Structure 1
Amino acid sequence: MEFLCLVTLAIFVVFTSFLISKIRKLLKPIKAPTLDLDEYWGPGKKSDYKENTEVVKYEISFPDETIETLKNDLKKTIKLQTPLEGIGFEYGFNTVYLQKVINYWRDEYLPKWKEREAFLRKWPHFTTNIQGLRIHYIHTRYEDPPKGKKVFPVLLLHGWPGSVREFYDLIPLLVENADSKYAFEVVVPSLPGYGWSEGAAKPGLSTTEMAIIFRNLMMRLGYRKFFVQGGDWGSLIGSNIATLFPEAVLGYHSNMCGANRFRSMIKKTIASFYPKPFVPEGYEDFFFPQSEKFKYLIEETGYLHIQATKPDTIGSALMNNPVGLAAYILEKFSTWTNKDYRKLSDGGLAKKFTLDALLDNIMIYYLTNSITTSQRLYAESFTARARALQLDRVQTIVPTGCARFKHDLSHELDWTLKDKYTNLIHSTYHKDGGHFAAFELPKVLYKDFIDFVDKVVKLDNL
């Protein structure tokens, strides 16, 4: 009996030691993976491809016939299902309000399309070929740098279902703000497969590979060191640029900071029982109760599971279907801006945005036929190949800033972020705003970004 007890104890000790070693391994940071900085994503063989590095001025213009086709599609009799009594956006886009959006799109927005098209051309647009793909971007550059100001390049990155349109009210603040001691040369690319940027012809183009493309874009434009700002997918792509190419990044600022390491999950669980040491007073509801936050994420991420598994199926249902496309995309601008807007019959869309601005974004997806290719990013970023890179475990050493807007989909504690971002120098909370900060509250996001830049300048004596 005594021998049996000793054997059991020995097995327990060995198992416990093995478990501890595995946990330590999971908690330990790892080195950045070695990646192909010239991986080819275009059609056919790489050996048949010769990259044209020329930067070409791009003029946004669509044929009148295309707009007339859209107008005729919106004129077709559509028998939308009547919403349930007393329901706003809880079941998705309210069809009564959807009909109003369709009417406005057809009768008021499209008749002034030339005006909207001119607005989209407000900033200089360019294309260039990188790794087999035509990459589109907005680029402002000073011929005569403003006197008395420090000038920095900044890369602005959007996500889904957004576009470069999200930044149209932020760009002038960065470029033209006379009250700031900083000025910025702004680069705003369309993600590959979004808008005017070509989608990959081969599988595997995840946020990691997009980070390489955009780093290569900035190098081509002559920017050896630059700031990065992003939300949604732009946040993850920006994080990957800062992680993989720290020598090129002056600072990384995000309005959707994430930390998905195993250690982070443990810390969040601990903090949920006793948040006081980990959350600034008055901001506990950004993070807790966790059960409520988790419930919200489950309710709002059905689209993610579809797009991460069958992007081409849902893409086929939405392409050449303007009504479906508008409902699918605009619903996100309601519930991701404020979850309580689900209770409203108009989804609260008019509270934060104009219909013209929202329809500009829809038009970019519709006219470039990019809904399917945009959704493939979900499928590519949740593969075994993408997970194997374990970039969450690679520490990011560049100066990092995190701006939290209360109604965003999720938030991270500084306690967890510092495991990933070892140089987190800026952490803020905003009691208004949601997921689309640049689109919704550009002045607030601008000020937050400038405060971050100021800290980086002082820290690194720029």
Structure 2
Amino acid sequence: MLLEIFLTLALGTIVYLFFSRKKEETLPIEEGWWGKGQKPVSEEDATVRPFKVETTEEELNDLFRRLDQARFTEPLEDSCFHYGFNSVYLRKVVAYWRSQFNWKKQVEVLNKFPQFKTKIEGLDVHFVHVKPPCLPEGRSAKPLLMVHGWPGSVYEFYKIIPLLTDPASHGLNDEHIFEVICPSIPGYGFSEASHKKGFNSVSAACIFYKLMRRLGFHEFYAQGGDWGWLICTNLAQIAPNHVKGLHLNVVSVTNIRFTQLLSILLGSYFPGLFGFQDEDVRRMFPFLQKGFYRILMESGYAHIQATKPDTVGCGLNDSPVGLAAYILEKFSTWTEPEFRKLEDGGLERKFSLDDLLTNIMLYWVSGCIVPAMRFYKENIGKGIGTQKHEKMSVRVPTGVASFPNEIVHTPRSWAQQKYVNIISFNFMPRGGHFAAFEEPELLAADIQQFVGKVEKKELWREKGK
């Protein structure tokens, strides 16, 4: 009798632990309302409407007036970009913006890809949706959601989209052809900002999941860097049965364990003990210089935006020159930290002024800099490592493209503590934080090989049944 009771209790405990563990592995899909006022009783309009970027002469004239009236402060001698954006070069950027930059031509570039809007949870969500121009007979396109971050926009993906939707025409491997969906995070670009507090990465992930389902996709791939990393990670935690694969060009872990702290102290002496490769050691050590000091030097903006975004945002929303300096400084240092030593910040070594200013204009004409900055407060304001999703693992097949000039390097051994099913982790030969914008060919190739591995595993699984 006692044995039967013991076995029953043991079995019950095992069943409880099994189901409770399974339950914890999935984030709940939120049913939020981020629009103005109370949620209406009537069902939300799910229409997907075509959208085009348009600006008026009045808006452009206002911009030109502000550019003409800009005030500049002389930089310190030989300061280059060590104190932030150098105003000598800023004058050149503003002069180009005022006299040579052709926004109307760039609007045509922006509108070359189909764009749409649709209402989700009270917000007008903007997205770019590009289908392959042609598909070989018997082939189907793989849906790929690509999510940007700050201070970027959907424009970051304009050079990589053709490489994914029409790889053969660009001399690339066309084993996998993609149908690409690039939404603007609510509060960025032409996606309506939340009217209520609390809109964070999980909220955005829920909206993007609903967007993909509304577009008819039952399974899809997700790719992201910067905030796109976190939103896509949350998406994989919300809908692991719908996200076939998760590809990231930024990886970060918020729950630091004792072994990680120990690896920071001893990893350069005993790399194998902590699963470090030679490239990990090269990128991470000496840690005070390449890890801690670099984070300290590059994170001031994040502290401001995670605490009082509206204060700084007021000035940036009123001054196009201030907005450009604030954003473009990140495109300099986050692309190559050594660019601090250059008076022009090395910006035109990797990007054209037309591309950089197009991204700035998306922030200016939409007036979105303040809600874009608020996203930091909503995600970090409650403390790092305190949210449920930060403590949960990700079991969706994951691929990581690790670029050498990323702000923080996360070795595979660290990443695997959260992303437990990493099937591809590649050290990229060059590039920084804005991977799709700076190195579209490298990123496209890595996405291709990652999806190939996922598809092969899926095929083996099907054959094994």
Which residue of the partner structure matches residue 281 of structure 1?
Answer: 278
- In structure 2, list runs of 5 or more residues that go unmatched: 1-20
Q: Check 1:386–1:345 CA distance in 2 against 1; reply closer, same or farther (3 A cut).
A: closer
Matching of residue 168 in structure 1 with residue 158 in structure 2:
yes
Which residue of the partner structure matches residue 75 of structure 1?
Answer: 68
1:220-248 CA distances to partner (integer Å, 9 max, x unpaired)?
00011100110000011111111221001
- In structure 1, list runs of 5 or more residues that go unmatched: 1-27
Q: How many residues align?
A: 432
Q: Kindly state the Cα deviation for residue 382 of structure 1 after the two structures are TM-superposed.
A: 1.5
Q: Check 1:65–1:458 CA distance in 2 against 1; reply closer, same or farther (3 A cut).
A: same
Which residue of the partner structure matches residue 359 of structure 2?
Answer: 361
Quick check: 2:133–2:166 contact (8 Å CA) kept in 1? no
Q: Kindly state the Cα deviation for residue 320 of structure 1 after the two structures are TM-superposed.
A: 2.4
Once the two structures are superposed, the pairs formed by residues 61-140 of structure 1 within 5 Å of their partners are 61-76=54-69, 78-109=70-101, 112-140=102-130
Quick check: 1:407–1:435 contact (8 Å CA) kept in 2? yes
CA distance in 1, matches of 2:22, 2:410: 19
Matching of residue 194 in structure 1 with residue 163 in structure 2:
no
Q: Kindly state the Cα deviation for residue 102 of structure 1 after the two structures are TM-superposed.
A: 0.2
CA distance in 2, matches of 1:219, 1:340: 43
| Code of the aligned partner of 1:424 | I
Quick check: 1:155–1:226 contact (8 Å CA) kept in 2? yes
Once the two structures are superposed, the pairs formed by residues 298-337 of structure 1 within 5 Å of their partners are 298-337=296-335
| Code of the aligned partner of 2:334 | W
CA distance in 1, matches of 2:151, 2:395: 30
CA distance in 2, matches of 1:70, 1:49: 40
Which residue of the partner structure matches residue 438 of structure 2?
Answer: 440
Q: Kindly state the Cα deviation for residue 68 of structure 1 after the two structures are TM-superposed.
A: 1.5
Which residue of the partner structure matches residue 7 of structure 1?
Answer: none
Q: Secondary structure at the match of 2:430?
A: coil
Q: Kindly state the Cα deviation for residue 431 of structure 1 after the two structures are TM-superposed.
A: 3.2
Q: Secondary structure at the match of 2:416?
A: helix
Quick check: 1:146–1:183 contact (8 Å CA) kept in 2? no
Q: Kindly state the Cα deviation for residue 85 of structure 1 after the two structures are TM-superposed.
A: 1.1
Q: Kindly state the Cα deviation for residue 149 of structure 1 after the two structures are TM-superposed.
A: 3.8
Q: Kindly state the Cα deviation for residue 390 of structure 1 after the two structures are TM-superposed.
A: 2.6
Could you state the TM-score of these two structures normalised by the residue count of structure 2? 0.89
Q: Check 1:280–1:262 CA distance in 2 against 1; reply closer, same or farther (3 A cut).
A: closer
The structure 2 residue matched to 1:225, chosen from 211, 216, 219, is 219
CA distance in 1, matches of 2:26, 2:397: 21
CA distance in 1, matches of 2:23, 2:365: 43
Worse-matched range after superposition: 182-191 or 79-88: 79-88
| Code of the aligned partner of 1:200 | S
Quick check: 2:254–2:384 contact (8 Å CA) kept in 1? no
Quick check: 1:29–1:394 contact (8 Å CA) kept in 2? no
Could you state the TM-score of these two structures normalised by the residue count of structure 1? 0.90
Q: Secondary structure at the match of 2:126?
A: strand
Q: Kindly state the Cα deviation for residue 260 of structure 1 after the two structures are TM-superposed.
A: 2.0
Report the RMSD for the aligned CA atoms in angstroms.
Answer: 2.0
Which residue of the partner structure matches residue 254 of structure 1?
Answer: 248
CA distance in 1, matches of 2:332, 2:129: 30
Q: Kindly state the Cα deviation for residue 49 of structure 1 after the two structures are TM-superposed.
A: 5.9
Matching of residue 212 in structure 1 with residue 206 in structure 2:
yes
Which residue of the partner structure matches residue 15 of structure 2?
Answer: none
Q: Check 1:107–1:143 CA distance in 2 against 1; reply closer, same or farther (3 A cut).
A: closer
Matching of residue 177 in structure 1 with residue 173 in structure 2:
no
CA distance in 1, matches of 2:279, 2:396: 29
Q: Kindly state the Cα deviation for residue 64 of structure 1 after the two structures are TM-superposed.
A: 1.4
The structure 2 residue matched to 1:236, chosen from 224, 227, 230, is 230
Q: Secondary structure at the match of 1:182?
A: coil
Quick check: 2:29–2:238 contact (8 Å CA) kept in 1? no
The structure 2 residue matched to 1:52, chosen from 40, 45, 68, is 45
Quick check: 1:283–1:429 contact (8 Å CA) kept in 2? no
| Code of the aligned partner of 1:41 | W
CA distance in 2, matches of 1:394, 1:312: 31
The structure 1 residue matched to 2:339, chosen from 338, 341, 355, is 341
Worse-matched range after superposition: 325-334 or 67-76: 67-76
Q: Check 1:143–1:359 CA distance in 2 against 1; reply closer, same or farther (3 A cut).
A: closer
Matching of residue 35 in structure 1 with residue 28 in structure 2:
yes
Q: Check 1:107–1:87 CA distance in 2 against 1; reply closer, same or farther (3 A cut).
A: same
Q: Secondary structure at the match of 1:450?
A: helix
1:428-459 CA distances to partner (integer Å, 9 max, x unpaired)?
11231110000000001111111111111111
CA distance in 1, matches of 2:224, 2:412: 18
Which residue of the partner structure matches residue 6 of structure 1?
Answer: none
Q: Kindly state the Cα deviation for residue 273 of structure 1 after the two structures are TM-superposed.
A: 4.5
| Code of the aligned partner of 1:95 | S
The structure 2 residue matched to 1:271, chosen from 267, 283, 289, is 267
Identity between Structure 1 and Structure 2 (%): 41
CA distance in 2, matches of 1:415, 1:153: 29
Q: Check 1:67–1:49 CA distance in 2 against 1; reply closer, same or farther (3 A cut).
A: farther
CA distance in 1, matches of 2:100, 2:148: 28
Q: Check 1:151–1:33 CA distance in 2 against 1; reply closer, same or farther (3 A cut).
A: closer
CA distance in 1, matches of 2:114, 2:97: 26
Q: Secondary structure at the match of 1:46?
A: coil
Q: Kindly state the Cα deviation for residue 262 of structure 1 after the two structures are TM-superposed.
A: 3.1
| Code of the aligned partner of 1:389 | Q
Quick check: 1:308–1:380 contact (8 Å CA) kept in 2? yes
CA distance in 2, matches of 1:61, 1:286: 44
CA distance in 1, matches of 2:245, 2:419: 11
